[in-house]
Amino acid sequence: MNPQFQYILDLIQQSQLSDADRTALENAVKEADKQYEIINFKLDRTEKVKRTTAILLEETIAELELKRKAVEESNDALQKSLEELKAAQQQLIQSEKMASLGELTAGIAHEIQNPLNFVNNFSDVSKELLDEMKVELEKGNMEDAREIANDVIQNLEKILHHGKRADSIVKGMLQHSRSGSGEKELTDLNNLVDECLRLSYHGMRAKDKSFNAKTDSSLDAGLPQIKIVSQDIGRVLLNLFTNAFYSVLQKKKNADGNYEPLVSAKTILESGKVKIIVEDNGIGIPQRVIEKIFQPFFTTKPTGEGTGLGLSMSYDIITKGHNGELQVETKEGEFARFTIILPI
């Protein structure tokens, strides 16, 4: 018994109270002591629970901290892989550019050999002419000398002309392969369409020399200049033309002698928008794949021949990059018509 209660009990026992009163008081003290014991026990138990809870709480906090760290780490890892993905995407874009450039290289080589042929030969022949002119001058044949001088002047003009021609071809090529975001600039679309058609035509011819296709362009002279990233739109056009030539080439392989491959380009100004239409009379696109053609990595070409990125990138360039539309109409075995619609 608690000493305080014991003391009270001793005092009661020594008191002058009646037996009945004393017994009642003694019982009350004993009862109080019993209650006190119970409360003490409960308090002790609560203390224990409190300690356990505190320990649990600490453990939980430690665990949470670990989890937070784990989340942070996986966040970092995700961020890193996102950056890697972005870099990989950039690389893919670049390799797609290089792939389409590769297709065009032979065409460009042909385009550049012709002006070079003239530059080399006209300069060489001019040297000969000047030697001859010296002879004529020594002989006093002024008339002949003057004639030769005129020829040399004409040749120098030709050298300059063909030098510039080679220069513009190389510039066009560099523009096509350059990476990074280009600025939107006022561009003559008809020029761009014509240039891309010629470039992909020569690229196709270089790949398969026995093949020939008719090209036809109907360019609206009233087209206003519009603000575009010309190297991006150029890539879209090269892609569409290269596809068109590929398609007529495939059809020609299995067609009889009456098939005349034709790739055409058209520009029109219609209700305040510019339309560029690229059409071919090749193999067309089967209905079952039409939904997929703008998806990345979708290609019907044999492995190693297509990246499957051409049309998906074209779609992004037109819709996201230029707020335009890229539409397709086709009939399998007959034709494919791609229409680019750009706001002015």
Partner 1 sequence: MPGSPLFYLYKPYFQLLVNHHSMKILVVDDERDVQTLFEQRFRKEMKSGEMQFNFAFSGEEALQFLTDHNQEAVLILSDINMPGMSGLELLKRIKQEHHEPPPVVMMITAYGDAENYNQATQLGADDFLTKPVDFTILKEKLKSIH
| Residues facing residue 336 across a β-bridge | 280, 330
Number of residues in contact with partner 1 under rule CB under 8 A: 25
Q: Which of 60, 90, 105, 117 binds partner 1 (CB under 8 A)?
A: 117
**DSSP E strand stretches across 133-210:** 185-187
Chosen residue from 140, 183, 209, 323 binding partner 1 by CB under 8 A: 209
Among 53, 90, 114, 150, binds partner 1 (CB under 8 A): 114
Residue 184 or 205: which CB sits closer to partner 1? 205
d(CA 293, CA 311): 7
> Looking only at residues 67 through 106 of this chain, which bind partner 1 when binding is defined by CB under 8 A?
106
Residue 180 has which token pair? 């990074």
Q: Which is nearer to partner 1, 37 or 124 (CB)?
A: 124
Closest to partner 1 by CB, 115 vs 234, is 115
261 in Cβ contact with 214 (< 8 Å)? yes
| Interface of this chain with partner 1, residues 142 to 171, rule: CB under 8 A | 151, 154-155, 158, 162
Q: How far is the CB of 155 from partner 1 (least distance, A)?
A: 7
CB closer to partner 1 out of 152 and 274: 152
Alpha carbon distance 280, 173 (integer Å): 25
- Taking CB under 8 A as the rule, does residue 205 contact partner 1? yes
Residues 30 and 11: their CA atoms lie apart, in Å, by 14
Q: Which helix (H) or strand (E) holds 331?
A: strand 325-331
Q: State yes or no: residue 206 binds partner 1 (CB under 8 A).
A: yes
292 binds partner 1 (CB under 8 A): no
- Residue from 14, 210, 258, 323 in contact with partner 1 (CB under 8 A): 210
Among residues 129, 196, 277, 342, the one that binds partner 1 under rule CB under 8 A: 129
- The distance of closest approach from Cβ of residue 81 to partner 1 in the complex, given in angstroms and rounded to an integer, is 44
Supply the Cα-derived Rg of the chain in whole angstroms. Answer: 45
**Under rule CB under 8 A, residue 241 binds partner 1:** no
Q: Give the CA count within 13 Å in the CB-facing half-sphere of 218.
A: 9
Contact 300, 289 (CB under 8 A): yes
CB of 123 to partner 1, least distance (A): 11
* Shortest separation between residue 171's beta carbon and partner 1, angstroms: 20
Cβ–Cβ under 8 Å, residues 262 and 216:
yes
- Let me know if 31 is exposed, middle or buried by CB neighbors in 10 A (0-12, 13-18, 19+): exposed
Nearest by Cα to 246 from 296, 282, 202: 282
Q: Which of 212, 218, 319, 327 touches partner 1 by CB under 8 A?
A: 212
Residue 216 interacting with partner 1 (CB under 8 A): no
* 258 near partner 1, rule: CB under 8 A: no
Residue 22 as a binder of partner 1 (CB under 8 A): the answer is: no
Among the candidate windows 118-126, 177-185, 245-253, 314-322, which touches partner 1 by CB under 8 A?
Answer: 118-126
User: Residue 205 corresponds to which tokens in the numbers above?
Assistant: 């011819």
- How big is the CA angle at 7 (ends 31 and 1), to the nearest 5 degrees? 45
Q: Are 330 and 287 in contact (CB under 8 A)?
A: no
- Applying CB under 8 A, the residues found at the interface with partner 1 are 106, 109-110, 113-114, 116-118, 120-122, 124-125, 129, 151, 154-155, 158, 162, 202, 205-206, 209-210, 212
